[in-house]
Structure 1
Amino acid sequence: MLRNCLVLILSACVSINALAQKAKPIRVLIVDGFSNHDWKQTTAVTKWILEESGRFAVEVTTVPADSLERNAWNPDFSKYELIIQNTNNIQKPSLRWSRQAEKRLEEYVKNGGGLYILHSANNAFPHWKEYDKMIGLGWRRASEGYALEIDATKSITRIAPDEGKGTGHGDRFNALIQVLTPHPINKGYPNQWQTANTEVYYFPRGPAENITVLSCAFDSTSTKKIWPVEWVVKYGKGRVYNSSLGHLWKGETYPPAYRCIGYQTTVIRAAEWLATGKVTFPVPSNFPTAVTQSLRPEDSFKMP
């Protein structure tokens, strides 16, 4: 009898411990501090989207504005399962991470860490060659790497450096996202779904190595061609997610691009996959379709 009781107690402890481990939030660090976009609001709404899901605990490190403090800035990325990169120096090339922080991020991802490149973060740091390898494609001049274009049969063409144009985009529009490659992030998504007021980059460029394009969209406002929208990159043992989704410009407040349920679902599922290699967050019943958008109410988020 005593032995049976001990077995029951031990079993209960194991079950409780398993539940506790299952409920343990994924630790996320958002890096921000400078951008030509509204980086403060982008950080706040991204943190809210993730924490509202109940799966993440999000911290923020802001790169110091003071140059001496910035040179000393060197966060310990190893404490987190996921880093979200939300800095962009396209208009101020002198604004950079400290070299020790660059090296620490490289090692973090090489050793298996997850890295989320948040919209304009792929415009950043053309001086940093390992960053180019991590992001796969970004906002670069025509001479700086290969561009990927998709045709009507969903075949991908590599465009050599100095062929075509540098990266750009036309007007924002309600893009029809087309799933190109099945992946845990988009498992259960419709083959096509509408997102709101977004940018489709034409001629996104970079090394384009160890890359998988997840989705694409027809650029109806400029080139009239199909370009990548989301892609993932393998860098060492780590995983990187990169996308042109998530535009939030100065003067906007929680715009439709961020209220899109397709976008918010993708943020959560991409973050989960980057951190764990798996996706458990379900595709909601009101996920957008090929013919209908799906937006959360304007008052569903308030700046803290």
Structure 2
Amino acid sequence: MLLSRKTLYTILFNLVSTIGVWGQSPYKVLIIDGQNDHKVWQQTTQMMREYLEETGLFSVEVATNPPSEGGALDSFIPDFSEYEVVLSNYNGYSWPENVKTAFENFVNGGGGLVVVHSANNSFPEWQAYNRMIGVGGGGGRDEKAGPFVYYDEGKKELVYDTSPALAGAHGPEHQFRIIIRSRNHPITKGMPPTWLHENDALYNQLRGPAENMEVLATAFSPLNLKGTGRHEPVMMVINYGKGRVFHTTLGHNSDSQKGIGFITTLQRGTEWAARGAVTQKIPEDFPGVNSGSRRP
């Protein structure tokens, strides 16, 4: 049976990735889900699991925390110490205090964290979590949470705006260009300086402590699409204690998560969170400045 060029490329890509870590066990990743105001969370969890496992670098498990009356299930007590990285696809009730303490210790002690899209809406009152994610939206976050953070294209610098207002908004889903602002970071190195992302909800007006945070990429939020007229952060990394955090605001739904740009940055961001370096290559079908790229 003849294989398509795309299938052959995927097989070769996975083989090279696996050879690169020959003799080393895959990094163990725990995806947390179970509550999310984005209705496709079950599908996106499965998609992200498959994206990570196809690299040969990761072994992925899922911990689902469905709601009980008035909160999260008390039986939700994951052992974070069993994993190198936790990926949050969770936006729901606060966790029990013992779980939050264990999670803080995990990241502070060197565990990796990947925050995807609406997971940055979670836990507005949990100060340690807000420092882990750098900036967030929703949940009643206001100026007490920290400044708005956006990029001034004219001055080529980040702006930290302490104006009073609630955090977090987005307009209708649309294609938009990602502009890489940190081209030498392991996650973004080798990517085109600007590339077209698939239909997605572009978060704007994110605010938070923004401590030890580096913005890797931004996207322009147009006023005519209920945006801000500013360049908003869409990918960032944060150091929290000894831990590494990769935060992406991309991935609103299953459609956006089919984009090669989303897939590649998720895979590379998770590897960086696990080991502080990236061995994966930029795929040949990565999007360009005017040409999107997605899986069927």
TM category, shorter: 0.7 to 0.9
The alignment of Structure 1 onto Structure 2 pairs a total of residues equal to 267
2:248 equivalent in structure 1: 243
Identity in percent: 39
CA distance in 1, matches of 2:61, 2:166: 38
In the alignment, which of 103, 106, 114 is matched to residue 104 of structure 2? Answer: 106
**Could you tell me whether the CA contact under 8 Å between 1:190 and 1:289 is conserved in 2?**
yes
Say which SS state the counterpart of residue 278 (structure 1) adopts: coil
Of 59, 62, 86, which residue of structure 1 is paired with 2:61? Answer: 59
What's 1:181 paired with? 182
C-alpha deviation, 1:167, in angstroms: 1.8
Q: Which moves more between the two structures, 109-118 or 137-146? A: 137-146
SS in 2 for 1:131: helix
Residues in 2 aligned to 1:142 and 1:70: alpha-carbon distance in whole angstroms: 28
The SS at the match of 1:156 is strand
* CA pair 69-126 structure 1, distance change in 2 beyond 3 A: closer
Note if 1:197 corresponds to 2:202: no
Per-residue Cα deviation, 1:241-271 (whole angstroms, up to 9, x for no partner): 11210111xxxxx41x111111101110000
Give 1:133's aligned residue: 131
**Partner deviation per Cα, 1:59-115 (whole Å, 9 max, x = no partner):** 0111143359822421111111100011102xxxxx221211111110000000000
**Residue equivalent to 2:6:** none
CA separation in 1, counterparts of 2:22 and 2:33? 31
- 1:224 is aligned with what amino acid? G
- Separation (CA, whole Å) in 1 of partners of 2:286 and 2:130: 32
1:288 aligns with 2:258: no
1:84 corresponding residue in structure 2 = 87
Question: Which one has a bigger Cα radius of gyration?
Answer: 1
The residue type equivalent to 1:155 in the other structure is: E
Residue aligning to 1:8: none
Give the direction of change, closer, same or farther, for the CA distance of 1:19–1:127 in structure 2 (3 Å limit). Answer: closer
Shift in Å, 1:19: 6.7
Match of 1:74 among 74, 77, 80: 77
- C-alpha distance in structure 2 between counterparts of 1:188 and 1:205, whole Å: 29
Question: Shift of residue 276 of structure 1?
Answer: 0.8
**Residue 165 (structure 1) shift:** 5.2
Q: What are structure 2's unaligned runs of at least 5 residues?
A: 1-19
What is the aligned-residue RMSD (CA, Å)?
1.7
Q: Which residue of 2 aligns with 1:211?
A: 213
Question: What TM-score do you get using the length of structure 1 for normalisation?
Answer: 0.84
**Structure 1: unaligned runs, 5 residues or longer:** 1-17, 90-94, 249-253, 298-304
How far 1:148 moved relative to its partner?
A: 0.9
| Aligned residue type for 1:35 | N
1:154-196, Cα deviation, whole Å (9 max, x unpaired): 311100151x553211222111000011210011000000101
User: Cα distance 1:70–1:191, how it changes in 2: closer, same or farther (>3 A)?
Assistant: same
The Cα shift of 1:203 comes to 1.4
**What is the CA distance between 1:199 and its match in structure 2?**
2.1
**What is the identity, as a one-letter code, of the residue corresponding to 1:173?**
H
SS at match of 1:44: helix
Q: Distance in 1 between matches of 2:150 and 2:221?
A: 11
Flag the 1:161–1:130 CA change in 2: closer, same or farther, 3 A.
Answer: farther
